[in-house]
């Protein structure tokens, strides 16, 4: 009988970057002290992955679809419906979902903070409940998510609205939506101001609606890849992909999406699931992406170092005790600190396995610059079949 092999996919969200002057022309991946990652790269296989196909927006919805082995060109319908699925919102054919950020727009009309001061999920839920009570109707409903990330369901007639993601507007004019339904969407966003003004514990002063779409139909992960799978994440977007793909979503107390997240808890959730029967597990950590959006270079470096010391080092030791294993490390997109938003550039990836030696290399942007870019959705098949 062939020995069982377990698989792990590690997604350091948005960790890829560009050379930074304050790091002497290096990137956070080049500067971070990551001995386990370096060792895995030296004995594994590194390369470049085009996780964002040409023509699609460079977001975690597209990138994580690809990482899970789904071609985004076939399956992507928008970011918000994925997050809606995580919240238990089942969209009807005549409905669409919008991502609803709690944001802070400055008096001069610029986007001061796309995350509205990172309110706690508990306080934010109270605000979303108030928004539902004041602004909800038979056609419009508000649904609470995590921290500043929520969801609004509207008629499908608003599907053609063009609304810029708020993280792309940081420090710039908060350009209003345009296109069919823009007037209604803008009015709803403006109407949120007096509601949020009642909450002293929230810095956000309005909502921002974007990323709309209809419910996607994904083939079940188990039938697509022949493996049982689990995942852990702090964000509804990745959780929603798990729901839509039939992947078991594991909850970890203290998973925040920031540098203070429960790193060890995520690692231990993966090891426990794999030791008790799961074939594959996805560990997603948002912290490096948040650092990129805020331009926090030191935070991104620290996030990478915590990946190495709190997850990868003990993870490999735990996997060795389980048996044969294969590992993929790949971000879902780049979030350069200077730009403070996502880009479509190909990102580095690393594959490693127990008892095997690859050609070796460096898991950095410069280290894979000469490698041909592999379509992101082809990485998982390569991981489980190579």
Question: Which bin fits 93, alpha (ψ -120 to 50), beta or left (φ > 0)?
Answer: alpha
Buried b vs exposed e over 7-24: b needs ≥16 C-beta within 10 Å? bbbbbbbbbbbeebeebe
Could you tell me the two tokens for 310? Answer: 């709190």
Q: What are the chain's domains?
A: 5-76+216-385 (3.40.720.10), 88-213 (3.30.70)
Looking at the predicted structure, is the pLDDT value of residue 123 above 90?
Answer: yes
Evaluate whether 135 touches 78 at the Cβ level (below 8 Å): no
Q: Could you give the angle at the alpha carbon of 240 between the alpha carbons of 141 and 312, nearest 5°?
A: 145
| pLDDT, tens digit, 9 for 90 and up, residues 224-271 | 999 999 999 998 899 999 999 999 999 999 999 999 999 999 999 999
pLDDT confidence tier of residue 133, bands split at 50, 70 and 90: very high
Looking at the predicted structure, is the pLDDT value of residue 343 above 50?
Answer: yes
Alpha-carbon span 331 to 300, nearest angstrom: 13
Half-sphere exposure of 54 (CA within 13 A, CB side): 2
Evaluate whether 240 touches 268 at the Cβ level (below 8 Å): no
What's the confidence (pLDDT) of residue 173? 97
Q: Provide the percentage of residues in the chain whose pLDDT is more than 70.
A: 99
What's the confidence (pLDDT) of residue 2? 61
Half-sphere exposure of 171 (CA within 13 A, CB side): 7
pLDDT confidence tier of residue 3, bands split at 50, 70 and 90: confident
| pLDDT, tens digit, 9 for 90 and up, residues 345-361 | 999 999 999 987 888 99
Looking at the predicted structure, is the pLDDT value of residue 70 above 50?
Answer: yes
Buried b vs exposed e over 144-167: b needs ≥16 C-beta within 10 Å? bbbbbbbbbbbebebbebebbbbb
Please state, rounded to an integer, the average pLDDT across all residues of the chain: 95
Q: What is the DSSP string of 55-82?
A: TS--SHHHHHHHHTT--HHHH---SHHH
pLDDT confidence tier of residue 1, bands split at 50, 70 and 90: very low
pLDDT confidence tier of residue 177, bands split at 50, 70 and 90: very high
Strand partners, 353: 326
Evaluate whether 275 touches 317 at the Cβ level (below 8 Å): no
Q: How many Cβ atoms are within 10 Å of 109's Cβ, its own excluded?
A: 12
């Amino acid at each position: 009988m062939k020995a069982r092999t377990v698989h792990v996919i590690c997604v350091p969200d948005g960790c890829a970057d560009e050379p930074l002057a304050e790091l002497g022309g290096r990137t956070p991946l080049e500067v971070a002290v990551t001995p386990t990652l370096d060792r895995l790269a030296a004995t594994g296989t590194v390369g470049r992955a085009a996780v964002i196909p040409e023509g699609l927006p460079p977001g975690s919805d597209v990138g994580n679809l690809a990482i899970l082995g789904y071609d985004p060109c076939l399956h992507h319908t928008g970011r918000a419906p994925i997050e809606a699925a995580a919240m238990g919102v089942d969209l009807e054919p005549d409905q669409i979902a919008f991502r609803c950020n709690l944001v802070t727009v400055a008096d001069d009309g610029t986007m001061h903070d796309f995350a509205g001061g990172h309110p706690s999920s508990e306080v934010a839920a109270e605000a979303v409940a108030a928004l539902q009570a004041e602004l909800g109707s038979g056609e419009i409903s508000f649904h609470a998510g995590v921290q500043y990330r929520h969801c609004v369901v509207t008629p499908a007639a608003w599907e053609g609205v063009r609304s810029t993601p708020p993280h792309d507007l940081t420090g710039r004019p908060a350009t209003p939506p345009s296109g069919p339904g823009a007037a209604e969407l803008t009015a709803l966003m403006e109407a949120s101001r007096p509601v949020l003004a009642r909450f002293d514990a929230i810095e956000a002063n309005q909502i921002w609606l974007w990323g709309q779409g209809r419910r996607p139909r994904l083939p079940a992960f188990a039938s697509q890849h022949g493996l049982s799978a689990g995942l852990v994440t702090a964000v509804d977007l990745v959780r929603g992909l798990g729901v839509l793909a039939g992947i078991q979503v594991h909850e970890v107390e203290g998973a925040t999406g920031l540098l203070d997240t429960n790193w060890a808890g995520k690692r231990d959730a993966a090891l426990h699931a794999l030791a008790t029967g799961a074939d594959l597990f996805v560990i997603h950590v948002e912290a490096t992406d948040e650092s990129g959006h805020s331009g926090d270079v030191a935070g991104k470096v620290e996030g990478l170092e915590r990946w190495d010391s709190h997850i990868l080092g003990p993870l490999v030791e735990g996997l060795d005790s389980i048996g044969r294993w294969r590992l993929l490390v790949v971000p879902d997109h780049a979030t350069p600190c200077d730009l403070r938003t996502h880009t479509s550039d190909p990102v580095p990836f690393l594959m490693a396995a127990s008892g095997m030696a690859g050609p070796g290399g460096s898991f950095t942007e410069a280290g894979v610059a000469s490698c041909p870019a592999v379509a992101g959705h082809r990485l998982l098949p390569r991981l489980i079949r190579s």
